[in-house]
Structure 1
Amino acid sequence: MTPQKQLHRPTNPVLVLDWGGVLSTPVQDAFDSWMAAAEIDPKSFMRVMREFHNTADSPLHRRERGEISVSELEEALAPQLCTLAGQPVSADGLLAKMFEHLKPNPAMLQVVELARENGWKTAVLSNAWDGDHYDPDLMAQFDAVVLSDLVGVRKPDLNAYEAVIKALGVEAGDCIFVDDMRRNVLAAESAGMQAIQYEPGVEAQLTKLITNGATSEVSGVDPRGLHLDRLTDYLRTELGSAVVALRPELLPGGRSNISYRLDGGNLGPLVLRRPPLGHILPTAHDMGREFKLLTGLASVGYPVPQPIALCEDAGVIGAPFVLMEFVDGLIIDDAAIASSLDAVSAREASQNLVRCLADLHNIDPVDAGLADLGKPAGYLQRQLLRWIKQWDLTKKIDYPAAGQLITWLQQAVTTLPDQTKTSIVHGDYRLDNTILDPETMKIKAVLDWEMSTLGDPLLDVALTLLYMTESNDNLRNSVPVALGVTTPPGYYTRAEFLSAYCEITNVDTSYLNFCLALSCFKLAAILESIKHRSQAGEQLGRAEHSADLFGDSCNNLMLMGLAVTEGDGVSGLNR
């Protein structure tokens, strides 16, 4: 439930925008339409795209830098594609066909027009494959257009941002940069710009910034995943809320359940959480379970958002949903925010993260009314079976490392201790799933409880260690979740986190390697499902247009799991 980062209006404001996925409709949507029309095998396309994106000197990157021609890229791409019938794909005019279905994004173009009306400069900064898909009449409206193939440098190289700054004759601090790729946003911040990742709702934030807080009329179009009229009726009839004009805002932090902030009623700001729109793993996204968890944990004083209502009637918004209070505070969800804390504050945040997890594992489920939340016996065995099943349902590629890791886990699970500790487990515990008091660094609320149950707390610890980042990580850097969040000075290392947790709980860590390897496998299955929804246009929030960001992350998670099994333990996560 992460609110968008705060932007500040510069003295001489400039709006710098990416083209594909910001000023245009999502690029992946265009590719999907092309593949459907041309009957292209999507596996062949995704395979070559992963290779091209993840190789520094690939034909794609060379084309984006203008080192090779469009036809040379087409000739490199076409032989690696095939149709669903197994036939070759012609290189002739290939890029034009791929981008044929890319259309302008009218909502963002309205923001650009508003910016110009209010005296802002505007610019485009884009990694260009084929200049023909940029509308020349549209590009002529911008003060500067910097295409990578013409300047010889591509994002996220800092020189690309310097090129647009020079073209505009402005300072980096004058610029608000919008891109749909996280890595490009972080690079823009490193270049001295304010930057924000594009997702639905950014237009409203930019409109408010441009107009110094003035807001325009709500369009009346329901946001994806909501039906405002029916939701307003529900709030009025079931909760007695005096809703005047419900104002929803998509909260972009989540990669699974979808969260909206709701304003416009007398209950104060609320948060609505609902399941994802499309591909859902079996047994996942149970809103009733999340509501029960929140209710029980709030009753014993554990820091969670106060639950308000559970609606199981899918006729209201199209799916069951939970309403809860909106908790304001600091969410450390990217490297830039993490680096803004001094070392003392970072250390306090880490200490509180450990204590809060240990406190959760120390709660008696009976006291919280959660004794029937799950079946503790055989928890780790069931988890392994569950994630193998869900990997089989979701996977697009048969990674050899996945088979090797599954074989090891199936053998190792037979050697686990007969009795292990049972507690309430979170199932997705990490720093960016907490809201902190920015003054004290104490945790005000722990978020995202949809995978919580009764189980082995060591698996919670192992997954948290996997989510952490360190400066000497390698494969972990390809996993686009919480990147750089615990890397800056002051934050606990994985070893420090584990040591602090063991000091508080005296937990048995003899089977930690199994839990670490299972966590790598579990996260790979989750990311594969998110990638599936993103490619299908059914993912909202931060991961909406992120399919190409995942690259080899699933395979690399499997390799990290294997590194753990080879005896490296926690240090295997640095592999």
Structure 2
Amino acid sequence: MSPAAVEGLDVPAMTAWLEGLGIGADGPISFERIGLGQSNLTFLATDAGGQRWVLRRPPLGKTLASAHDVAREHRILSALQGTDVPTPAVYGLCEDAAVSDVPVMVVEHVDGIVLDGRADAEALSQQQRHAAGLALVETLAKIHAVDLERTGLADLASHKPYGARQLRRWKGQWDQSKMRELPEIEDLTDRLVAADPGSSEITLVHGDGHLRNLILDPDSGGARAMLDWELCTLGDPIADIGTLLAYWPGPDDPQGAVFSVTTVPGFAGADELVAHYAEQTGRDVSAVPFWHALGVWKLAIILEGVRRRQSDDERNLSETGHHLPEAVDALVAHAHAILDRG
């Protein structure tokens, strides 16, 4: 019986390619889209013997230039093999147009827990939930400790001030992907430009460090693998803490389009996470409010881009369905409030 067709993959061609990698794949191979991500698409591949791998490809339809670069993601993950950073093993990158019209990366399937929703968190004990937050912080600290020269990642991106680079890049993303005019985000961009503290250090930065991108040990709550390296770059390490907080809402923060898992009792609070990072690394964390606001601003822009891709091609919908413009508006207002408090 032939495996079912899957949107975004040529199943016979991809099966043959996987069988030729020397990783023990034995057809027929079935492919299933997994995860809630709506940027690069993720698929679970399962062969006749029950072995599993994970595939990544860019989203369907038109994408913005420089975005969704799976070959770059493959380079980063390959460079991190053997470091202290928990990552899946990398098995290959397909750039053969006869197999796929876009690059496809295949990596190890790592068993564990991913906290995609409240039910996942509620299945854990409060002690495990608390450990999960600390494990995420510790994983980011390991990423920031990567030796750029030894891993060959020193030329991954510019070494110029990170805040200015991020503001310029993501403002451009907004201009290309926006579906309406939104003066509030233009005002927010101006405020962030004025508040930029500059950068005194350049490290590897994950760029998307939240709980949905971390596979956890079901017993200890510790980290087994960090996923989704698409936004990884070189920059200010405190930016990753800002991103973490952007996806770590408190009870009064906008949650519908972001991530409400961390409001389940037991997770560490934002202040504890920041303090734990400072303790782990010895870094100055006084600029966290700026990076937190910038992280929320980026999240609003990403969400608008997801809305654009969904509108252009509904094949990019995930289980969460369409996002509403009000969700973007709420994030922009939240970022303004963070700067007001900071």
Give the counterpart of 1:538 among 312, 315, 333: 315
| Residue of 530, 540, 555 corresponding to 2:329 | 555
Answer 1 or 2: higher relative contact order, Cα 8 Å, separation at least 6: 2
2:52 to 257, 260, 269: 269
Deviation digits for residues 129-182 of structure 1 (CA, Å, limit 9, x no counterpart):
xxxxxxxxxxxxxxxxxxxxxxxxxxxxxxxxxxxxxxxxxxxxxxxxxxxxxx
Counterpart secondary structure, 1:403: helix
Deviates more, 1:269-278 or 1:234-243: 234-243
**Residue matched to 1:445:** 225
Contact between 2:92 and 2:105, CA under 8 Å: does it hold in 1?
Answer: yes
Tell me, yes or no, if structure 1 residue 289 matches structure 2 residue 72: yes
Displacement of 1:265: 5.8
Mapped partners of 1:439, 1:274: distance in 2: 31
Q: Do residues 477 (structure 1) and 251 (structure 2) align?
A: no
Q: Tell me, in whole angstroms, the C-alpha distance in 2 between the residues paired with 1:359 and 1:350.
A: 15
Aligned pair partner of 1:249 in 6, 13, 32: 32
The one-letter code matched in structure 2 to 1:383 is: Q
Matched-pair identity in %: 35
Equivalent positions of 1:136-215 (< 5 A) are none
Query: Cα 1:438–1:242, aligned 2, differ >3 Å: closer, same or farther?
Result: closer
Query: What per-residue deviation string (whole Å, max 9, x for no partner) do you get for residues 79-130 of structure 1?
Result: xxxxxxxxxxxxxxxxxxxxxxxxxxxxxxxxxxxxxxxxxxxxxxxxxxxx
The SS at the match of 2:234 is strand
2:187 aligned to which of 393, 396, 404: 404
Give the root-mean-square deviation of aligned CA atoms.
Answer: 2.0
Letter paired with 2:144: H
Q: Which residue of 2 aligns with 1:525?
A: 301
Residue aligned with 2:44, SS: strand
Pair 1:328–1:242, CA change in 2 (3 A): closer
**Residue identity in the other structure for 2:152:** G
**Which one-letter code corresponds to 2:270 in the other structure?**
R
CA drift of 1:255 comes to 1.7
1:411-459 CA-partner distances (Å, limit 9, x unpaired): 233xx34x52211111100112111110111111111001101111111
Instruction: Report the Cα distance in structure 2 between the residues aligned to 1:337 and 1:398, rounded to whole angstroms.
Output: 37
Q: Deviations over 1:338-393 (max 9, x none)?
A: 12222211111122121111111112122323222112222221110000011011
1:387 and 2:167 equivalent? no
Whole-Å separation in 1 of the counterparts to 2:62 and 2:239: 25
Question: What SS does the corresponding residue of 2:38 show, helix, strand or coil?
Answer: coil
Aligned to 1:366, the other structure's residue is in SS state: helix
- The separation in 2 between residues aligned to 1:297 and 1:380, in whole angstroms, is 25
Residue 255 of structure 2 aligns to a residue whose secondary structure is helix
1:305-335: per-residue Cα shift (whole Å, max 9, x none)?
1000011224312210101011111111111
Deviates more, 1:241-250 or 1:256-265: 241-250
* 1:207 match: none
Superposition deviation, residue 512 in structure 1: 2.6
Structure 2 residues not aligned, in runs of 5+: none
AA in 2 matched with 1:461: I
The TM-score normalised by the length of structure 2 is 0.93
The reply on whether 1:457 has 2:237 as its aligned counterpart is yes
> How many residues in Structure 1 have an aligned counterpart in Structure 2?
341
SS of residue in 2 equivalent to 1:315: coil
Larger-gyration structure (1/2): 1
| Deviating more after overlay: 311-320 vs 460-469 | 311-320
SS in 1 for 2:319: helix
- Return the alpha-carbon distance in structure 2 between the equivalents of residues 512 and 563 of structure 1: 14
Measure, in 2, the Cα distance between the counterparts of 1:369 and 1:461: 24
1:207-226 equivalences under 5 Å are 221-226=4-9
Kept after mapping to 2: 8 A contact 1:405/1:562: yes
Partner amino acid, structure 1, of 2:212 = D
Distance 2:23 2:297 in 1: 45
* 1:260 corresponds to: 43
Q: 1:119-130 residue pairs with structure 2 within 5 A? A: none
- In the alignment, which of 266, 271, 274 is matched to residue 495 of structure 1? 271
Call closer, same or farther: CA 1:240–1:457 in 2, change over 3 Å: closer
Residue type matched to 1:347 in 2?
H
Q: TM-score, normalised by structure 1?
A: 0.57
Partner of 1:377: 160
Moved more, 315-324 or 266-275: 266-275
Q: 1:278–1:247: structure 2 CA closer, same or farther, 3 Å change rule?
A: same
Aligned to 2:127: 344
Q: Is the 8 A contact 1:225 1:318 kept in 2?
A: no
- Tell whether the 8 Å contact from 1:379 to 1:455 is kept in structure 2 after alignment: yes
Give the counterpart letter for 1:410 in structure 2: V
Distance in 2, matches of 1:240 and 1:448, equals 22
Residue 93 of structure 2 is aligned to residue 310 of structure 1: yes
Structure-2 separation of matches of 1:282 and 1:501: 34
Instruction: Quote the offset at 1:267 in angstroms.
Output: 9.5
Aligned residue identity for 1:282: A
Q: Deviations over 1:244-276 (max 9, x none)?
A: 211111113322111111111679311110000
Is the CA contact (8 Å cut-off) linking 2:25 and 2:51 kept in structure 1? no
Q: Which runs of 5+ in 1 are unaligned?
A: 1-216, 570-575
* Maintained 8 Å contact 2:21/2:92: no
- Relative distance call for 1:562 and 1:446 in structure 2 (3 A) is same
- 1:502 partner letter: A
